[in-house]
Structure 1
Amino acid sequence: MKHNFDELIDRRVSECKKYEPSYPKDVIPMWIADTDFAVPEEIAEAIQKRAEHPCFGYPVESFEFERAAARWEKVRFGWEIDPEWVKYSNGVLPFLMYAIRAFAYPGDKVVIQPPVYPPFQAITKNNGCQLLTNPLIQDDNGKYQIDFEDLEEKLKDPRTKLFFMSNPHNPVMRAFTLEELTRIGELCLKYHVIVIADEIHCDLTYKGYHHIPFASISEEFAQNSMVLINPSKTFNIAGFRTGAAIIPNKKMRDNIQIIIEDNKNYGRTIFGMLSFITAYTECDYYADEMMDYLEENKNYIVDFIRNRIPKIKLAEPEATYLLWLDCRDLQMTQPELKTFFFEKAKLGLNDGATFGIEGTGFMRMNIACPRATLVEALNRLEKAVNELNKC
């Protein structure tokens, strides 16, 4: 590999949220969705070169940003888009808020599929809309499936205006199939519900699975959706807070622009633009190599848990480096489960219940770390579970 993903980096000296100062040093943080890998050297060099200039005033809004997003979608996923469709924002989440303010009135409804990324809930409620949940359901292998009968019931509500979709899905590790996405798209068209597709994990699919941009499926879907992207998860540049929305429908684009201006969020950041452009134009190799590395991490943890910690269940991961651990056989309350991982296993994971009540009994583990870290973490978890069995 060109990049060394085995490198152990001390992140505690970098004002890192994942390793925030209050975090005990004997606990391995494996929670928030950034990686423990160094950024591609191309990004580091571009930033260092720009930082040599002593002035950091308002930057020109270079159209290279839009072209970079278009290039990535075409090269990585075969979706040809017009750079004019691309809108800048300081991250993906603001676009959820923009969508509510542009396309819904207070009291209107938004459909989500829990267990799902917590801000989907908070942004909806904080912007005066009601939540409708279409909980994903597990089959006999633990794989999550869409309850389409329930989904249609939620979409047909006359006050439902938006469907927030996470694909690949965080945290249940699904890369939805063409058939599933098509059924979603057809139902949303039937009931005049706009799809907001959060595709921030689009680069992170494992062998045998692939990501399909929702709006690439048909022109009808494209005209009824926004696709949200951000290189942060892939290239470990979340701190630059720079994302984009791809909005093929001009009327929708114009409405979103009005909301952006109303919220005074139209200024771009120097290093955010630079890292975004560099990632999406020069760092394909890094995305490929990281997924090869994560594939081995994923295989290691799947084998380890199935053979050495059978009380914890893990469905076959299809996408993302955020693995959804089913800990219900440990027979703990959620507070007990959190305490067990933090104080007994010495691992800092995400509390599954924050993803919705459907996440009770689960914990989310970030495996985007050097292999040595993952091995140590799993050995700790095995030891902690074995000590439970002795009690």
Structure 2
Amino acid sequence: MSLVHDFDEVVNRRGTDSKKYSVYPEDVIPMWIADSDFKAPQPVVDALVARMQQGVYGYTPISERLKKAGAGWQKKRFGWDVNPEWVEFVPGVITGLICAVRALSQPGDNIVIQSPCYPPFSDLSDHNGRHLLRNKLVLTGDHYEIDFEDFEEKCKDPRTKLFILCNPQNPTGHVFTKEELTKLGNICMKYHVIVLADEIHQDLVSSGHKHIPFASICEEFEQNSVSFMNPSKTFNVPGFRTAAFIAANPVLKNAVHDIVVNNKQIGENICGTIAFCTAYEACDYYADQLAVYIEKNRALVEETLKDVKGIKAIHADGTYFVWLDCRGLNMSQDELNKFFVETVKLGFNSGKTFGPDGDGFLRMNIACPKSTVEQALDRIVKALA
């Protein structure tokens, strides 16, 4: 019998050490940081409870099960035939990216990202002495497109060593097509730029679209990239700090591995490994149902806001975010942030934290029950009436 998850269930998360619910007053609905308000899949909960009841929580060895679970998910969900030996634990995607940046570039080297971008991409570059180059995504109508001419200009700089690909893209929700990925990959190959592929939102893709792992496109791309995966977004287990990187090229893998070890990031988390493996081995049903639920929430947001003056929901094909263009409200970013928190009583991510190309925007997290989304939309509509 197939399992069914109740995504409509409202869970009270206050008083549970939730970062999401610790920033804003209780009358503000928090819809910012990238964790969901859904319970994790029941098989994950059951596996964790059973292990915790054993009562001894000693150090763990390297988990071969984790390697197989990560490889198996890539094969059955995306058709990428991953050797489990290519898979290695890291405490998080950003931790893994930092290790890869340190392993595969030097201070003063360039890293290309696509902007607006997830704030830690900028931070990891700045904090490690690298120079960030922003390939600005172009907003055309209700979606974003890649400026390939600008991308190539940035890659051809001899100091450019790495490109951080975020697919599906955070915060815009753009899901890259095979043609786009191929063009990006060929440019990187041409100028000897290694691709670091953050694919943490890979399961959250709307119908009619498909996530394509960058490294799965061809052997050349597979050998010129390091990919990152984490069940945290799909299955709501980010607090366990358990992710993995995948590298088919032994030179790249060993280089990243050495930095992981040298920075004492190699020890696996008991609960994290259990959650990672159980989710990827037994919870396809949850990922499928979540994608459908998020798509319905997104459609509700877009339909409700289409006639609201001054604010526009940019259509996305992936992630559980809605990127809100609020430039029509004619407010500065600070005024916009204050207005939504103090008047609308909604806590969103400030667009400016995603770089200069996010100025005038807000990021809305819709990974919550439909009733919460409805309540948030009602507040927006009334405040902007």
Q: Same fold (TM over 0.5)?
A: yes
| 8 Å contact from structure 2 (residues 38, 367) kept in 1 | yes
| Aligned equivalent of 1:91 | 92
Q: Report the counterpart of residue 138 of structure 1 in structure 2.
A: 139
Aligned to 1:389: none
Equivalent position of 1:17 in the other structure? 19
Equivalent residue, structure 2, for 1:322? 321
Q: Aligned to 1:171, what secondary structure does the other structure show?
A: coil
Q: Deviations over 1:137-176 (max 9, x none)?
A: 111x131111000000000000000001110000011000
Structure 1 stretch 349-358 or stretch 249-258: which is displaced more? 249-258
Give TM-score, length-normalised by structure 1: 0.97
Which stretch of structure 1 is more off in the superposition, 258-267 or 194-203? Answer: 258-267
User: In the alignment, which residue of structure 2 is the partner of 1:157?
Assistant: 157
Q: 1:169 and 1:235 mapped to 2: Cα distance?
A: 19
Q: Deviations over 1:259-279 (max 9, x none)?
A: 111111111110000000000
- In the alignment, is residue 7 of structure 1 matched against residue 6 of structure 2? no
Q: Distance in 1 between matches of 2:257 and 2:314?
A: 41
- 1:382 correspondence with 2:384: no
More displaced 10-residue stretch of structure 1: 268-277 or 90-99:
90-99
In 1, Cα distance between the equivalents of 2:171 and 2:295?
17
The answer to whether the 8 A contact 2:117-2:354 is kept is: yes
Q: Give the letter for the 2:11 counterpart.
A: I
Q: What is the CA–CA distance in structure 2 between the aligned matches of 1:314 and 1:381, rounded to whole Å?
A: 12
**Partner in structure 2 of residue 26 of structure 1:** 27
Residue number in structure 1 paired with 2:39: 38
Paired residues of 2:309 and 2:328 also in contact (CA < 8 A): no
CA distance in 1, matches of 2:70, 2:243: 10
- Please list, as runs of the form range in 1=range in 2, the aligned pairs for 1:211-222 lying within 5 A after superposition: 211-222=211-222
Deviation at 1:99, TM superposition (A): 1.4
How far is the alpha carbon of 1:327 from its aligned partner?
A: 0.4
Q: Percent identity?
A: 50
In 1, distance between residues paired with 2:370 and 2:133? Answer: 40
Q: Letter of the aligned partner of 1:158 in structure 2?
A: P
Is the aligned partner of 1:346 residue 2:345?
yes
Amino acid at match of 1:46: A
Query: Which residues of structure 2 form unaligned runs of 5+?
Result: none
Residue identity opposite 1:128 in structure 2: G
Structure 1 CA distance for aligned equivalents of residues 159 and 316 of structure 2: 35
Instruction: For 1:368 and 1:105, locate their aligned partners in 2 and report how far apart those are by CA, in whole Å.
Output: 38
Deviation at 1:13, TM superposition (A): 2.1
- Secondary structure of the corresponding residue to residue 17 of structure 1: coil
What's the CA shift for 1:311?
Answer: 2.2
Deviation at 1:184, TM superposition (A): 0.4
Letter in 1 for 2:319: T
Aligned match of 2:358? 359
Aligned equivalents of 2:331, 2:104: Cα separation in 1: 42
Aligned to 2:200: 200
CA drift of 1:105 comes to 1.2
1:166-198, Cα deviation, whole Å (9 max, x unpaired) = 100000110000110000000000000000010
Following the alignment from structure 2 to structure 1, what is the Cα–Cα distance between the partners of residues 295 and 143? 18
Q: Deviations over 1:293-317 (max 9, x none)?
A: 112111111111113x142112221
Output one character per residue of 1:188-243: Cα deviation in whole Å (capped at 9) or x when no partner.
00000000010000000001111000000000000000111000000000000100
Q: Which residue of structure 2 lines up, in the alignment, with residue 373 of structure 1?
A: 372
Judge which range, 322-331 or 22-31, deviates more.
Answer: 22-31
Q: How many pairs were matched up?
A: 383
How many angstroms does 1:62 deviate by?
A: 2.3
Paired amino acid for 2:14: R
User: Distance in 2 between the 1:80 and 1:19 partners?
Assistant: 39
Amino acid at match of 1:142: D
* Unmatched runs of 5 consecutive residues or more in structure 1: 387-391
Match of 1:81 in 2: 82
C-alpha displacement of 1:365: 0.1
d(CA) in 2 for partners of 1:106 and 1:373? 45
Question: 2-side partners of 1:370 and 1:238: how far apart?
Answer: 19
**Match status 1:291 vs 2:305:** no
Q: How far is the alpha carbon of 1:95 from its aligned partner?
A: 1.6
Q: Which amino acid in structure 1 is aligned with residue 205 of structure 2?
A: T
* Distance across 1 between alignment mates of 2:123 and 2:176: 24
* Letter of the 1:341 counterpart: F
1:116 aligns with 2:148: no
Provide the rounded CA distance (Å) in 1 between the counterparts of 2:314 and 2:62. 44
Aligned AA for 1:364?
Answer: R
Question: Is residue 164 of structure 2 the alignment partner of residue 191 of structure 1?
Answer: no
Match of 1:228 in 2: 228
